[in-house]
Amino acid sequence: MFVLRLLLKNAFRHRLRTALTVLGLVVAVCAYGLLRTVIDAWYAGAEASSSTRLVTRSAISLTFPLPLSYAERIRALDGVSGLSWANWFGGVYVSERNFFAQFAVDPPSYLALYPEYRLSDAERQAFFRDQQGAVVGRKLAEKFGWKLGDQIPLRGTIYPGTWTFTLRGIYEGAEVGTDEQQMLFHWKRLSEALRQRTGAGSDRVGVFVIGISDPDEAAAISQRVDAQFRNSLAETLTETEKAFQLGFVAMSEAILLAIRAVSGIVIVIIMAVMANTMTMTARERLAEYATLKALGFPGGFVVRLLFGESLLIAGLGGALGIAASFPAVRLVGQLTGTLFPVFRLSPTTLALQVAASAAIGVVAAAWPAWRMSRIGIVNGLRHVG
């Protein structure tokens, strides 16, 4: 009890200095949490993927379409329990800043494969019936203030012209990680428009999504699908949905690496600041520590005092920083708009924030504690001057 009181008194002897150090810690711990959340957001697609879905794309790259005729051949394969397909539309809503994903899909089979997109029966039927219709995720509808029945114009970049869709449903994600910022519309509408414009040969799909009943069979089924189309005009590459999503993440690996590095740097910056505070504190109290030693306290006691004080300040700053992370993440999530479909503080991030605060406290006290434990009583007392 005595030690704790001493620690508290010591920590708040220089109120201003302690307050400033705590402020620095709050900023650093909060920034660290934000950066970790940005990295997590990148992996959100892979996190939300299902182990019972495979994605088949052209072996050359995602930009090459596959013929719709493959659908029957894939469906006939062993282990395939469901099949749907989707095309990336790449439309722009008002301005490029409002980026969100739009897919032209075959609605009944697609929604059957994605049960996590929860849609009321009435909205589902309305969407199925209206070929000009579309459904969007809840977050997207909130962001742009769309209501059922609204007209949504998109300017095509891959498919020229302005496309207007009628909003027929708003889906909700079944889990926290489900992407609620997508738009789905009828693949038939896209293919018919293309047929009118360019003539025949428009039955092309971007990717096939395959539903499987046994996740352990994923590798075998993938091979079976690809073997089916080997040496054909459009060879395929089939992988689990997770691997498919991670492929996108890997593309921006360099940026992710930079963000990771920077999130480490912020911790080092605050370590330097905190170490400085502790060094100054220890230097000022040289005589005091010598007195304690002269009174018979062992050298370890002084060391523990320093570590205790450092951890106390770091703990305080860390706790406030973590508390500040919640509103900060919410704010940044709103500011970045549709850029990150899922943006939330994960338990791992919180644990890392706690660990980082503790590490800062320990490292900051290490050097002054080592110095103080070695200082002789006489030298220390002489310092009183």
Partner 1 sequence: MHALPLAYVARNLWVRRVTTLLTALGMALVAYVFATVLMMSEGIRAALVATGQPDNVIVLRKGAGAEINSGITRPQAAVLETLPGLARDAGGRPLLSKEPVVLNSLPKRGSGKPSNVTLRGTGPSGLALRPQVRLVEGRMFRPGKAEIVAGRATAAGFAGTGLGESLRFAGREWQVVGLFDAGGTGFDSELWADADVLMQAFRRASYSSVVFRLADPAGFEAARAQIETDPRLTLEAKPETRFYAEQSEALASFIRILGLTLSVIFSIGAVVGATITMFAAVAQRVGEIGTLRALGFRRGAVLAAFLAESLLLALLGGALGLAAASGMQAVRVSTVNFQTFSELAFQFRLTPAIALQTLGFALAMGLVGGFVPAWRAARLRIVDCLRAA
Q: Select the residue interacting with partner 1 from 3, 255, 323, 384 (CB under 8 A).
A: 255
CB of 138 to partner 1, least distance (A): 25
> Does 334 help bind partner 1 (rule: CB under 8 A)?
no
Cα-based angle 78, 79, 81 (whole degrees, multiple of 5): 115
8 A C-beta contact, residue 89 and residue 205: no
Contacts of 23 by beta carbon, 8 Å cutoff, 6+ apart: 317
- Residue 166, phi-psi category: left (phi > 0), alpha (psi -120 to 50), beta (remainder): beta
- The helices-and-strands tally (H runs, E runs) of the chain is 15, 13
Burial of 69 (0-12, 13-18, 19+ CB in 10 A): exposed
> Does 131 help bind partner 1 (rule: CB under 8 A)?
no
Q: How big is the chain by its Cα radius of gyration, in Å?
A: 30
Q: Select the residue interacting with partner 1 from 65, 67, 82, 156 (CB under 8 A).
A: 156
Cα–Cα distances (Å) from 32 to 80, 87, 131, 203, 270, in that order, read 44, 37, 46, 48, 11
CB of 239 to partner 1, least distance (A): 10
Burial of 337 (0-12, 13-18, 19+ CB in 10 A): middle
> Does 384 help bind partner 1 (rule: CB under 8 A)?
no
Tokens 């397909």: give the residue.
85
8 A C-beta contact, residue 158 and residue 88: yes
CB of 136 to partner 1, least distance (A): 22
Contacts of 16 by beta carbon, 8 Å cutoff, 6+ apart: none
Q: Select the residue interacting with partner 1 from 1, 200, 254, 295 (CB under 8 A).
A: 254
Interface with partner 1 by CB under 8 A: which range of 45-53, 215-223, 273-281, 349-357?
273-281
> Does 327 help bind partner 1 (rule: CB under 8 A)?
no
How many Å apart are CA 275 and CA 360, to the nearest integer? 8
Tokens 């009183």: give the residue.
384
How many Å apart are CA 107 and CA 188, to the nearest integer? 10
Q: Of 41-70, which residues contact partner 1 (CB under 8 A)?
A: 59-64
Q: Select the residue interacting with partner 1 from 220, 258, 331, 351 (CB under 8 A).
A: 258
CB of 325 to partner 1, least distance (A): 12
How many Å apart are CA 310 and CA 358, to the nearest integer? 9
Q: Select the residue interacting with partner 1 from 76, 158, 227, 351 (CB under 8 A).
A: 158
> Does 275 help bind partner 1 (rule: CB under 8 A)?
yes
> Does 81 help bind partner 1 (rule: CB under 8 A)?
no
CB of 233 to partner 1, least distance (A): 7
Interface with partner 1 by CB under 8 A: which range of 12-20, 72-80, 138-146, 221-229?
12-20
> Does 276 help bind partner 1 (rule: CB under 8 A)?
yes
Q: Give the E-state strand segments of 213-279 in sequence order.
A: 236-240
CB of 341 to partner 1, least distance (A): 15
Number of residues that bind partner 1 (CB under 8 A): 49
> Does 273 help bind partner 1 (rule: CB under 8 A)?
yes
> Does 383 help bind partner 1 (rule: CB under 8 A)?
no
> Does 268 help bind partner 1 (rule: CB under 8 A)?
yes
> Does 280 help bind partner 1 (rule: CB under 8 A)?
yes
Under the rule (CB under 8 A), what is the footprint of partner 1?
Answer: 16-17, 20-21, 23-24, 27-28, 31, 35, 59-64, 90, 96, 155-158, 160, 231, 233, 235, 237, 247, 250-255, 258-259, 262, 265-266, 268-270, 272-273, 275-277, 279-280
